[in-house]
Amino acid sequence: MRSILEYDTVALDDENSALVIIDQTLLPGEIKLLHLTEQSAIWEAIQTLRVRGAPAIGVAAAIGLYLAVKPSAAETAEAFLDELHAAADYLNSARPTAVNLAWALKRMETAARRRADDTVPALKEVLHRECLAIWEEDIDVCRRLGENGLTLVKPGDGLLTHCNAGQLATVRYGTATAPMYLGHQRGYGFHVYCDETRPLLQGARLTSFELSSAGIDTTLICDNMAPSLMKRGAIQAVFVGCDRVAANGDAANKIGTLGVAIAAKRFGIPFYVVAPLSTIDLATPTGGEIVIEERSGDEIREMWYEKPMAPAGVKTWNPAFDVTDNDLITAIVTEWCVARPPYTESLKEMFQKKEAAQP
């Protein structure tokens, strides 16, 4: 049986005009690849978390947008670009919080509009190349995130992570787990603790699954056990991913991250957010402006249980994310460098350096 790490989380099957993803709702019990050809199926896969994790969502959206207009019969570039925009709007409506979704769709549209004088077949090829470039860049970016994150820890450290910012949230390597994978390959001997991450259990179902599959020393804990583990001295650093970083360094990540950050601050443990530049949104001033997705209460009452575990009709509040305030974040690890407070300056400087480095 193939290991989960032998699969790309997201891929393009151009010959069959399909987006290929691992159905993460079935993990860890079953590894099943979905070949999605209809836009409604791609939208549903993003909305229901069959594909999830900010970078993976972005890559899936880019491939999905290319597939949306690949069969277009538009006779003019103008008509084709109108179709492209409508398809982008549709996919962008699947989930509101992860900035990579909108970022990837905007990048695809921009690539096409720069060539607005080309023929429709030429524009289709532009989009084909761009979605593959986004796919390839995700792999490279995650590897660089791992290298930068690895500079912050030492061999033998105990590391804590929350939710899944692993390979299953990207094409390969992951974001918050990238330093763990690279360190494991180099004999660092990390002991990684995974929060279960209620109510969707991404830490239990996904992170502990993929890390243990890689041979990393992995321990699964309930979310409410992390502070006690910190107090015992078992944790030397916390690494988490995120779905959006505001210009001031506030970071939206899976619900429960804020509590981990508060506990880490209490016990003097560095708390690192690992995020590609595509997840940093300088147009959002603070975390207060980030739209937080609220999901069905059935995820709390019934999901993953053989029988409902709460009274019928009881009220629920089920935000998918929370915002960790920037003063709780020791550093933000990007593919360019490790940003430190004040983030309003360091994050802006990173983007300026990136733009200056581009040909």
Active site residues: 243
> Which own/partner pairs from 262-269 qualify as long-range (CB within 8 Å, at least 24 positions apart)?
262/328, 263/226, 263/227, 263/230, 264/230, 264/235, 264/238, 264/328, 265/328, 266/227, 266/230, 267/227, 267/230, 267/231, 267/235, 269/230, 269/235, 269/236, 269/237, 269/238
Helix locations, 20-119, DSSP H: 39-47, 54-69, 77-92, 99-113
Residue 139 host element (H or E): helix 120-150
Cis peptide before 71 (omega within 30 of 0): no
Which tokens go with 355?
A: 């733009």
271 φψ region: left (φ > 0), alpha (ψ -120 to 50), beta (else): beta
Given a contact cutoff of 8 angstroms between Cβ atoms, the answer to whether 58 and 100 are in contact is: yes
Q: What distance in Å separates the CA atoms of residue 265 and residue 38, rounded to the nearest whole number?
A: 46
Strand 244-246 to 191-195 pairing: unpaired
The CB density around residue 295, as the number of other CB atoms within 10 Å, is: 18
Q: What is the dihedral of CA 65, 66, 67, 69, to 10 degrees?
A: 90
Which tokens go with 3?
A: 């290991």
Q: What distance in Å separates the CA atoms of residue 108 and residue 103, rounded to the nearest whole number?
A: 9
